[in-house]
Chain A
């Protein structure tokens, strides 16, 4: 079975631009979470979606938004990019996103560089 997939793998943007990152969860998983990992830090939670609804949001500005589609894939959008948005963006999928004994499985990430 395919794991979590993300696209693109790398992206270079300039300040002020907009970016869309994509994620496909493991087949059968209905929950997708997004994390931002800056160099030298652990991943920071951005959003969680389950059944196309936002179920949790981290401490990120409104420039960050996301959505989940009927096939459970997800997009993360970031507007008005800042240099500080440069990071590895990780997508994680889990079955339902509800039970604390579930495991989240991570995709390979999208490395975003903002110049």
Chain B
């Protein structure tokens, strides 16, 4: 069965800490993995990863994919209270029609204390 598993489920840190969020997957015909940040309602896109070992970076956030070990990590350095959110990992699963759906993990709830 195709699945995406995230860990930890929740995390509480202090401002300035560095955090690492994990996402492992078992998906048929893997093509890409995406990270989203969900603060109140709408998940907002962070990264799409398709190739192993190539780090994607945006400010204090970075992410990397390991297609051999079937996982990805999302790093946040020098955390701020505004980083408090649920971080979702998603993997597209292809339909025979050629379209696809996302399979999401349960998310990691990050809380950053001032």
CA distance A88 to B34 in the complex (A): 20
- Closest beta carbon of chain B to A79's beta carbon, Å: 22
Assign chain A's interface to a size class.
Answer: 20 to 34
Interface string of A1-42 (1 = CB under 8 A from B): 001100000000000000000000000000101010000111
**In terms of DSSP, what is the predominant structure of the interface of chain B?**
strand
Contact stretch, chosen from B44-52, B55-63, B71-79? B44-52
A90-B43, A109-B42 given; A33·B88 CB < 8 A: no
CA distance A56 to B64 in the complex (A): 29
Task: Check if A88 sits within 8 Å of B41, measured CB to CB.
Answer: yes
Task: Check if A101 sits within 8 Å of B100, measured CB to CB.
Answer: no
A106 CB contact (under 8 Å) in B31, B32, B43, B92: B43
Does B36 interact with chain A (Cβ within 8 Å)? yes
Task: Check if A56 sits within 8 Å of B99, measured CB to CB.
Answer: yes
Most buried by A among B44, B88, B90, B100: B100
Task: Check if B104 sits within 8 Å of A100, measured CB to CB.
Answer: no
A55-B97, A100-B32, A104-B102 given; A42·B42 CB < 8 A: no
CA distance A25 to B4 in the complex (A): 26
Q: List 14 A-B contacts (CB under 8 A).
A: A33-B102, A35-B104, A41-B107, A42-B88, A42-B104, A43-B43, A43-B104, A50-B99, A55-B95, A56-B99, A56-B100, A100-B32, A106-B42, A109-B42
Known: A45-B103, A106-B43; 9 extra A-B contacts, CB below 8 A, are A40-B106, A45-B101, A56-B101, A90-B42, A92-B102, A100-B100, A101-B48, A107-B42, A108-B41
